[in-house]
A = this chain, B = another copy of it.
């Protein structure tokens, strides 16, 4: 016989708690999702949840971090690519915008839930943003190396590009993303920024 049970009680792990928490958040929304709900969903007492996460805030922050990390990973693939830095920058910004817009459009309630969580988890979000700007810095540094971009400070340029495109990735602007002119506005802004990066 196997020492580990086949399905009945798959051991209480941080990962399983996070999955259950996501489900509870999806069902009840951020305001009504309680630690007791999470414990009930897992068939354990809420005390057991506190063995893995010191506080409710820590649990929520872990959920937020997981969610943010998924976006980071998706984009890091593009940033690390080997092609033309100009095209890579375009693709990266486009992928960021598309990913956010798709999530906000597909399930607005869940997206609103994650906006609340992100608001609570300041440090996690700051780290995520630093990561994204780091990816941008890599692309721009590559371009500066090959001479496609003419910028004295790739890191500063990356910050500028990230801030400038905020309207197309900051969740606070989600409502605007469905407007018909959003697409053209995004394209125009990206081209303006690319011209600025590569002007002699």
- Residues of A whose CB lies within 8 Å of any CB of B are 156-157, 159-161, 163-167, 172, 184-185, 188-189, 192-200
Chain B contacts for A167, CB-based, 8 A: 163-164, 166
User: Closest 4 CB pairs between A and B?
Assistant: A196-B196, A199-B199, A164-B164, A195-B196
List B contacts of A199 (CB < 8 A): 195-196, 198-200
Contacts of A195 in B (CB 8 A): 195-197, 199
Q: Which residues of B contact A189 (CB under 8 A)?
A: 160, 163-164
Taken together, the copies of this chain in the complex come to 2
Shortest Cβ distance from A189 into B: residue: B160
B164, B172, B185, B198: the one within 8 Å of A159 (CB): B185
What are 22 sample pairs from A and B whose C-beta atoms fall under 8 A apart? A157-B188, A157-B192, A159-B185, A159-B188, A160-B185, A160-B188, A160-B192, A163-B189, A164-B164, A164-B165, A164-B193, A166-B166, A172-B172, A192-B196, A192-B197, A193-B193, A195-B196, A195-B199, A196-B196, A196-B197, A198-B199, A199-B199
Contacts of A198 in B (CB 8 A): 199
Point out the residues of chain B lying under 8 angstroms from A194, CB to CB.
196
Whether A156 lies near B188 (C-beta < 8 A) is yes
Contact of A196 among B163, B172, B193, B200 (CB under 8 A): B193
Q: Residues of B contacting A197 with CB < 8 Å?
A: 192, 195-196
Given A159-B185, A185-B159, A198-B199, are A192 and B172 also a contact pair (CB < 8 Å)? no
Q: Which residues of chain B have C-beta atoms less than 8 A from A188's C-beta?
A: 156-157, 159-160
Residues in chain B near residue A166, CB distance under 8 A:
166-167
